[in-house]
């Protein structure tokens, strides 16, 4: 039976996010940013947010465990918040403490919906440094 996708937002610090990205890489999940990229660009003392939006089961790769595709709101070193995706194991997500109230979750989902995507941010910052 497929676990029920939680309709919640979880907050994680940068070290926790790096651990989640490492776990995703270890399992070969398709939606993740490279750990080295995250280490280079994330604000070290920031809080980042995960919002599960899809149950991901790779029927063509039965060796890959079921995962929850999460939208993530990342805070980068410039202080900007950008949007990305991260596949997370359900058990791993469940272990992240629930720390946000309902209003905070709604506000974070709204910020996720309006955030610049990682690729757009990377293209913009690359063109800013080449100018």
Residues lower than pLDDT 50 in the chain: none
* pLDDT recorded at residue 66: 87
Number of C-beta neighbours around residue 63 at 10 A: 7
Q: What b/e string do you get for 83-114 counting C-beta neighbours within 10 Å, with b at 16 or more?
A: bbbbbbbbeebeeeeeebeeeebeebbeebee
* pLDDT recorded at residue 93: 96
* pLDDT recorded at residue 62: 75
- 5 by Cβ neighbours in 10 Å (0-12 / 13-18 / 19+) ranks as middle
Which residues on adjacent β-strands are paired with residue 55?
Answer: 68
Is the pTM for the entire model greater than 0.75?
Answer: yes
3-state class (DSSP) for residue 88: strand
């Amino acid at each position: 039976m497929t676990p029920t996708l939680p309709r919640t937002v979880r907050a994680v610090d940068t070290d926790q996010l790096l651990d989640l990205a490492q776990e995703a890489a270890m399992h070969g999940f398709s939606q993740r940013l490279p750990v080295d990229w995250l280490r280079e660009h994330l604000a070290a003392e920031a809080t980042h947010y995960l919002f599960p939006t899809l149950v991901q089961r790779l029927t063509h790769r039965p060796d890959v465990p079921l995962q929850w595709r999460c939208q993530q709101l990342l805070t980068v070193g410039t202080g900007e918040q950008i949007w990305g995706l991260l596949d997370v194991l359900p058990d791993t997500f469940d272990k992240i403490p629930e720390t946000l109230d309902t209003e905070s979750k709604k506000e974070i989902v709204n910020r996720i919906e309006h955030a610049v995507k990682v690729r757009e941010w990377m293209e913009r910052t690359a063109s800013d440094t080449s100018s």
